[in-house]
Amino acid sequence: MHQILMSVQKPARYTGGEYNQVVKDLNNVEQRIALCFPDTYEIGMSNLGMRILYGVFNERPDIWCERVFAPWRDMEQQMREHGLPLFALESGDPIREFDVIAFSLGYEMAYTTVLDMIDLAGLPVRVGDRTDEMPLICAGGTVCYNPEPMTDFIDLFFIGEGEEVDLEVFDLYRKCRRAGMTKAAFLKLAAGIPGVYVPSLYHVSYDAAGAISAISEEDGAPAVVRKRIVRDFDRSYFPVRTIVPSTEIVHDRVVLELFRGCIRGCRFCQAGYVYRPVRAKKPETLTRQGIAALEGSGYEEITLSSLSTSDYKGLFPLCDGLLDWCEPNHVSLSLPSLRADNFSVDLMKRVQKVRKSGLTFAPEAGTQRLRDVINKNVKEEDLLNSCRIAFEGGWNTLKLYFMLGLPTETDEDVIAIAELAEKVLSTWKQCAAQKNRGLRLTVSTSLFVPKPHTPFQWEGQITSEEYLRRVSLLKSSLRSRAIVYNWHEAETSLIEAVLARGDRRVGRVIESAWRAGGGLDSWSEYFSLDRWLSAMEEEGLDPRFYANREIPEGQILPWNMITAGVTADYLLKERHAAHEGVVTPDCRKKCTDCGIRHSYREVRCDE
Ligand code: SF4
């Protein structure tokens, strides 16, 4: 190991031993969990979900949960050459000796990396090829709301928030193993736990056109698996003893999660739908937890995280409470995810006290018409007003995010993005406090990907060629040289759409792409569109069927056996409203009865 580490980039990714890591005496531990993140150390260690689950599992004295990340290619090659199997950071033990391997799956492009990690652990990638003596392999995370593309490889999926359901499953697994039961017998029992999806208990058939004709379940498995949620979020676990990485990571700071869910209902946003209802922590709870985490880690930065931070009702008292401690201790406070409509002078002043980082707004679309279609209730005057306040306050770096290819988008909508950016530039010229430094204005676009459990789940993605045409149109419409335009490549968005709306047959494609050298596909240096297209061709599947086709409204969707609590009728109603350009008020203004209140009666959803 020592020799290998001398020859790879960033060896600290693989050594463990960081401040606040959890090490236990194996004599006192009954179950070992390998918590795996299918991406590099820098990305995985920046993930708040990983830190929460690591803490929740390790709070139990009988469980030892360790971290596992995907090695970079140089390390993987060395490990394979030296016959060193994938190991956990805390103990250095091979994860194939653990009881449970649990993957955190946050994005589709990580699928091939999951296969790579299972293989590197020395285990067969397919469920059917693994024996009862091998670890149980499970997965949870946002993409598991359509688990179907990964059902060939994963024994069991957690649907919803892991703090709630995972330990129940682990406890049952331990009991079943102690009683000498087979994995199959355990899985049948586990399927009875709310929020657990066991794919081997469901059967899918297809019609001649390739669409799903039926999904059936066996052995008492539920026809529909409903997500689990943390009901009392204020009292939920927060990792105060946060691990301090010994090498640089992407988000190297204390992260405070203000609330789960979102009141807004942007029609393209999967997180906004699957994390409903909104559940918030009290400002005093967050202030206490934030200060404790800063004191316990020595971090010099704290950030506030949520889907829409400025919607947090207690934002001012929270910022004041944190700043009272942060300022004298020279700790900086940052606020990402600000909406352009309620960005206020007061808020600006509070952030300004410590540090001026760049600002990012995401109007998503250039015209009011299209913003109404997607239910992004941000008006142009709100955006320009927020910009004015920012420029007067001395900010001179601004990023604007948009999507191209949204349903009903026309060339007029594309050109309007350029016009809006020019208006932002004129606003800066009129009122910037520091004109001598110039404005750094960046416009970024990405290609719309239709996501399951959203009102746009039926919409087709525009083709890559059409996306590039719209990129060129926007590029030529942006006349000022002061505006920098970045666009996200279409290739990854196409494959993301295939995987997001994929059915069980797509599992074969993932395996073929991985066998052909795939892995770390979320990294542009390793992603290969040709490899994915060849894999699809090999398996006789057409990417257009999954990505570009508009799915007829009555058709069975691959993820029909999973619900996030929002009814299919509501999603359909929202889709129709989108096509009529009708906006839906946010949950604080009016409940439009999406189904959540009925599914989780004891939870208020307008906090
Ligand atoms: S039930 Fe009403 S308030 Fe709750 S999330 Fe749905 S629409 Fe919003």
Number of residues in the chain = 607
Question: Which tokens in the block code for residue 599?
Answer: 């599914």
What does each C-alpha distance from 416 to 193, 351, 363, 485 come to in angstroms? 50, 31, 12, 14
Ligand 1 atom 8, closest CA: 587
Ligand 1 atom 4, closest CA: 605
Gap from CA of 596 to ligand 1 centroid (Å):
6
Pocket residue to mutate for ligand 1, from 263, 584, 605, most atoms within 8 A of Cβ: 605
Gap from CA of 260 to ligand 1 centroid (Å):
13
Tokens 């688990």 — which residue?
A: 147
Q: At residue 174, does pLDDT exceed 50?
A: yes
The number of helices, as runs of H, and strands, as runs of E, in the chain is: 21, 19
Q: Could you report the per-residue pLDDT of 96-105, keeping only the tens digit for each?
A: 999 999 999 9
Q: CA 200: distance to chain centroid?
A: 25
What is the pLDDT at residue 35?
A: 98
Contact 340, 386 (CB under 8 A): yes
Half-sphere exposure of 99 (CA within 13 A, CB side): 20
Give the number of other CB atoms < 10 A from CB of residue 429. Answer: 11
Residue 362's SS3 state is strand
Ligand 1 atom 5, closest CA: 277
Rg (CA), the chain: 24
Q: Is the CB of 606 under 6 A from ligand 1?
A: yes
Q: Is the CB of 592 under 6 A from ligand 1?
A: yes
- The kind and range of the H/E element at 103 are strand 100-104
Q: Could you report the per-residue pLDDT of 579-588, keeping only the tens digit for each?
A: 999 999 999 9
Residue 580's SS3 state is helix
Q: Distance (Å, rounded) from C-alpha 254 to C-alpha 46?
A: 10
Gap from CA of 70 to ligand 1 centroid (Å):
38
Q: Is the CB of 248 under 6 A from ligand 1?
A: no
pTM of the shown model? 0.94
Q: Is the CB of 144 under 6 A from ligand 1?
A: no
Sign of CA dihedral 125, 129, 131, 132: positive
Ligand 1 atom 2, closest CA: 591
Q: Is the CB of 587 under 6 A from ligand 1?
A: yes
Ligand 1 atom 6, closest CA: 594
Q: Could you report the per-residue pLDDT of 495-535, keeping only the tens digit for each?
A: 999 999 999 999 999 999 999 999 999 999 999 999 999 99
Who contacts 159 (Cβ-Cβ below 8 Å, separation ≥6)? 140, 144, 145, 147, 165, 195, 196, 197, 225, 226, 227, 228, 562
Q: Could you report the per-residue pLDDT of 370-386, keeping only the tens digit for each?
A: 999 999 988 999 889 88
Gap from CA of 593 to ligand 1 centroid (Å):
5
Q: Could you report the per-residue pLDDT of 82-96, keeping only the tens digit for each?
A: 999 999 999 999 999
Average pLDDT across the chain, whole number: 92
Gap from CA of 563 to ligand 1 centroid (Å):
15
Q: Could you report the per-residue pLDDT of 123-161, keeping only the tens digit for each?
A: 999 999 999 999 999 999 999 999 999 999 999 999 999
Pocket residue to mutate for ligand 1, from 591, 599, 602, 607, most atoms within 8 A of Cβ: 591
Gap from CA of 96 to ligand 1 centroid (Å):
43
Beta bridge partners, 562, equal 225
Closest ligand 1 atom to the C-alpha of 596? 1
What is the pLDDT at residue 353?
A: 52
Q: Phi/psi at 90 (nearest 5 deg)?
A: -70, -50
CATH number assigned to the domain with residue range 2-226, chosen from the 4 options 1.10.3720.10, 1.10.260.40, 3.40.50.280, 3.30.1380.10: 3.40.50.280
Question: Which tokens in the block code for residue 125?
Answer: 């990638």
Closest ligand 1 atom to the C-alpha of 592? 7
Q: At residue 354, does pLDDT exceed 60?
A: no
Pocket residue to mutate for ligand 1, from 589, 594, 600, 604, most atoms within 8 A of Cβ: 594
Question: Which tokens in the block code for residue 386?
Answer: 């927020």
Closest ligand 1 atom to the C-alpha of 278? 5
Closest ligand 1 atom to the C-alpha of 591? 2
User: Which has the minimum average pLDDT: 338-342, 567-571, 572-576, 592-596?
Assistant: 338-342
Q: Could you report the per-residue pLDDT of 217-248, keeping only the tens digit for each?
A: 997 899 999 999 998 999 999 988 889 898 88
Q: SS3 helix, strand, coil % of the chain, rounded to 5?
A: 40, 15, 45
Q: Distance (Å, rounded) from C-alpha 376 to C-alpha 389?
A: 21
Who contacts 174 (Cβ-Cβ below 8 Å, separation ≥6)? 30, 31, 99
What is the pLDDT at residue 2?
A: 81
Q: Quickly state the pLDDT bin for 344 (edges 50, 70, 90).
A: low
Gap from CA of 583 to ligand 1 centroid (Å):
15
Residue 396's SS3 state is coil
Q: Distance (Å, rounded) from C-alpha 564 to C-alpha 554?
A: 19
